[in-house]
Structure 1
Amino acid sequence: MGRGRCRGHGARGGHGGIGIDGTVLLVAYDIPDDRRRAKVAKALLRFGRRVQYSVFLAERGSAREIATALARVIDASVDDIRIHPLCATCEAKVLLLGPKARESALPLGFRLI
């Protein structure tokens, strides 16, 4: 099955980071070192909130700002960080399952199934 293009990305297919269109960034990480992992989590709290143990929704700042802040903390040879843009169109399609999903305060556009 092919991947459809998000209609919320504009002509060039990219996100400009946080903007007036309501774009947020989903940041997920896999960091084996406890100390670096804690530093990454602390840095990410400046940009948004934790939604799972190693997943944050960044509602402030751009992908570049977040990447710059995290690059100061991580070991790029072993740590893995993913920053995915979620425009309002994409955000409205997010599905959440399980009891923890119900406990969190959901951003506008998220829905429970």
Structure 2
Amino acid sequence: MTQPFHAPHHGSHRLVERWKAAAADRRARAAARRWRHFGTEPRWARSDLPARRLLGRIFVPFFLLGTVVFTLLAANALPAPHADRAFFTGLAVLCAVSTVVAVIDLIVIRRRLAEQRRWHR
């Protein structure tokens, strides 16, 4: 009767553990870099995350509405005086980019607030 072939581990488990430890070490060093002070700024200087979150929550719907309205104006779906298609297209793109930037900022703010809660700051 033949035995199934089993490849020897040769420390593969230790290698995986070493990779996990290295990844945890990189995360710890990145967190330490984030809170490092160089002496040129106030000791606890941080951006006002709740105010940024409020502004993001207010302006995301406005930018989204502007994107929709300017897209409809560019497509001549809405009546507009002096309908310049390129102008409305540019405004629609500007509003769309602003919407994406504001949403990304809200995601970053959520992550940073969670980090502050985790580090009790």
Report the TM range for the smaller structure's normalisation: under 0.3
The structure carrying a bigger strand percent of its residues is: 1
TM-score, scaled relative to structure 2: 0.23
Flag the structure with larger Rg: 2
Structure of higher RCO (CA pairs closer than 8 Å, 6+ residues apart) = 1
TM-score, scaled relative to structure 1: 0.24
